[in-house]
Structure 1
């Protein structure tokens, strides 16, 4: 249990709320953050409604994990109904900071901490307003995000676009996405030029769901029969059978390998290190982790205009401009041009340098320090939690 009042010189305490250790980027970031804080000597716990999932193996065995009791229901309903439990846990364990992993839990965390001494930290993990959305629905969504930001003591965003949308909505800070690991840097260092006559190795990484829109990329590749390419799709999800049928109809099934969910970070880094090009055809994103990871591993990227937050990174990395969401012809053209004129590996690495895991997570740590005005003594081991 966290102490109620922080004695002079003691590091502040953090509870990281994550619904479950799923297969998404926000799940990995939340777990990496909890692990990192523990290594830095911060008393930290991971609070989850469900403790099993694809990313559970990433959790530091020494990290305290508490279950937030929730009924068996879909995620949204479950999170609504377990609000009283989370609020009670805040008042019992009294963390200095309660951190929300992403969009769906930001309101829950803000309300659970309301009226207590605990500071709520929200994180924008997907677009505030999705590309192309206008009208009353878009304005209502923006108003809701602004309200949540005002309820939080701090809101972390991943791009200037999101920060501008939440201007005058409380303490809003732009922090790098902590996603570039040592394994990715090693994968980049181990890259070798492709052998003469070898096919172009292409990669897609992400859940096989409508948001990621792998169907657009497959249709685009079918327009490039004159190029010798092979595609690996790393991911699982409800659309796998549909995508496999699409490959068969397009006559490209022999060029596409469905590798399933890749939960081992080193294996994923190796796949990216072997790829000439990552395809990112998403309909919407916050700031896609796989895009940053691929650049860190030395792979080029072709992406749709799924978020303004990615524009600066792609420009700094010398990548092809984003293509319109769902535009098959434009995506095919971008693939062909990128393969013909790739940017230098050093330029790719420089563009994502600030997204190194330790560097970025230390930025989170400093933001938390400023929020509670409690300097952390990094050389001390994590205090025992009762």
Structure 2
């Protein structure tokens, strides 16, 4: 199958959640024998229009991240790629109807991956509505994002949830690092809300525990200051940003994972912790999909305040410690990739009827 991804940015020039997801899916498709091209802003050196990396062909749409020029040139680039299916990220939103133009001319199905951004004031509402209504299918990582897409005008039957994934084989074989009982993991940005986690720990200062904060970013100095102000800094280790492979042993050794971020289209770090056997405690946030992973999970809880979070940490002590939770095997990389491939195949088959 020839798959063309479309995105203004990639994981090579940005570190957002969706860019990393697109790269991972593209490289896993290549490993299965599919032909994958990513149409994007040029991130490689030189004047050549395409560049191969890890088996994926990156094709230049524009040399600079200029959304209007990107949308205008995209149909011509897609026409030269001649894919069997186009998988377009809603970044920018107008890339979706632009890809749809090529799809109609060449009879190629188009699926969109909804690229949710927090506090997005740069895109007008009609851009979002056009993006939601243009593709044959809209892929979302969670029901929460799916609700937002339907509110933009997408038909409910066209919205399909395809979650993020974790490497279950690596989790099963990883060692156990018991440096922390309670863990928080996420980039420490404006949406991290790590102070709620620290406030919950401060409620438990009379108990014996060790905590770790995994992640880095502009909110880290304030978080470290908060830990000092709460007089728990000697029991909270700030580990900085860690790759998944380095996170897993710490998560396997921990007992509780706390999720307090105010914005998450999909809580990948929480998923990884749950697969590592952690008890997941999620503070409900209106713009976060994290609660979806623990709503029906016996080793999980949903809270609304630091006090409730502290209580659940205490209650978790009564639960058996695990290092792997096989209930999350359906979130393995291969299993989720199967869902992408199945979606592509259905889209191609359905398109043949029209």
TM-score bin (small chain): 0.7 to 0.9
Cα distance in 2, alignment partners of residues 230 and 89 from structure 1: 53
1:154 alignment partner, one of 128, 131, 137: 137
TM-score by length of 1: 0.74
Please say if 1:357 is aligned against 2:333: yes
| Residue 170 to residue 223, structure 1, CA distance change in 2 (3 Å) | same
Please say if 1:84 is aligned against 2:72: yes
More strand by share: 2
Contact 1:98 1:109 (C-alpha < 8 Å) held by counterparts? no
Q: CA deviation at 1:316?
A: 3.6
Aligned residue pairs: how many?
330
Contact 2:171 2:324 (C-alpha < 8 Å) held by counterparts? no
Cα distance in 1, alignment partners of residues 40 and 247 from structure 2: 25
TM-score by length of 2: 0.80
Q: 1:304 is matched with which residue?
A: 283
Cα distance in 2, alignment partners of residues 260 and 211 from structure 1: 17
For residue 331 of structure 1, give the secondary structure of its aligned residue in structure 2.
helix
Q: CA deviation at 1:218?
A: 1.2
Give runs of aligned pairs for residues 319-338 of structure 1, distance below 5 A. Answer: 319-324=299-304, 327-338=305-316
| Residue 100 to residue 269, structure 1, CA distance change in 2 (3 Å) | farther
Contact 1:121 1:156 (C-alpha < 8 Å) held by counterparts? yes
Q: 1:184 is matched with which residue?
A: 171
Q: CA deviation at 1:312?
A: 4.9
Q: CA deviation at 1:344?
A: 6.7
Q: CA deviation at 1:286?
A: 2.0
1:109 alignment partner, one of 95, 104, 118: 95
Cα distance in 1, alignment partners of residues 338 and 77 from structure 2: 27
2:160 alignment partner, one of 159, 173, 178: 173
Q: CA deviation at 1:99?
A: 2.0
For residue 86 of structure 2, give the secondary structure of its aligned residue in structure 1.
strand
Q: 2:254 is matched with which residue?
A: 275
Q: CA deviation at 1:360?
A: 0.8
Contact 1:185 1:296 (C-alpha < 8 Å) held by counterparts? no
Q: 1:213 is matched with which residue?
A: 193
For residue 182 of structure 2, give the secondary structure of its aligned residue in structure 1.
strand
What per-residue deviation string (whole Å, max 9, x for no partner) do you get for residues 314-350 of structure 1?
A: 14431343112xx222222222222x23367499431
Stretch deviating more after TM superposition (228-237 or 210-219): 228-237
| Residue 341 to residue 296, structure 1, CA distance change in 2 (3 Å) | same
1:100 alignment partner, one of 88, 108, 122: 88
Cα distance in 1, alignment partners of residues 291 and 9 from structure 2: 30
| Residue 43 to residue 281, structure 1, CA distance change in 2 (3 Å) | same
Q: CA deviation at 1:366?
A: 0.9
Contact 2:8 2:70 (C-alpha < 8 Å) held by counterparts? no
| Residue 223 to residue 301, structure 1, CA distance change in 2 (3 Å) | same
Q: Report 1 or 2 for greater relative contact order, CA contacts < 8 Å, sequence distance ≥ 6.
A: 1
Q: CA deviation at 1:90?
A: 1.8
Cα distance in 2, alignment partners of residues 109 and 144 from structure 1: 10
Q: 2:114 is matched with which residue?
A: 124
Q: 1:378 is matched with which residue?
A: none
What's the Cα RMSD here? Answer: 3.3
Please say if 1:249 is aligned against 2:226: no
Which segments of 5 or more consecutive residues in structure 2 lack a partner in the other structure? 45-51
Q: 2:37 is matched with which residue?
A: 45
